[in-house]
């Protein structure tokens, strides 16, 4: 049987199954870059980097 580890900060419910938070939260780094402007509103693009705190 596979073991599911919830790496979010909250309980996850799938149908009748509740998976409690493990206490470890996986995170991903994000870098934001302004790539232009539309009618005075900046257009921003996110670039994702490394994931941390995976088992």
Whether 28 is in a domain gets the answer yes
Whether 31 is in a domain gets the answer yes
In terms of C-beta density within 10 A (0-12 exposed, 13-18 middle, 19 or more buried), how is residue 22 classed? middle
pLDDT in tens, 22-54: 999 999 999 999 999 999 999 999 999 999 999
Whether 33 is in a domain gets the answer yes
Give me the pLDDT at residue 2, please. 85
Report yes or no: 54 and 37 within 8 Å, Cβ to Cβ. no
Whether 20 is in a domain gets the answer yes
Which residues form the domain of 41?
12-52
Whether 1 is in a domain gets the answer no
Report yes or no: 5 and 22 within 8 Å, Cβ to Cβ. yes
Whether 4 is in a domain gets the answer no
pTM passes above 0.75: no
- The number of domains in the chain is 1
> Residue 21 phi/psi, 5° resolution?
-60, 140
């Amino acid at each position: 049987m596979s073991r599911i580890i919830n790496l979010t900060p909250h309980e996850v419910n799938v149908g009748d199954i509740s998976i409690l938070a493990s206490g470890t939260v996986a995170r991903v780094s994000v870098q934001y870059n302004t790539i232009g402007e539309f009618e005075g509103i900046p257009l921003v693009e996110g670039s994702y980097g490394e994931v941390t705190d995976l088992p």
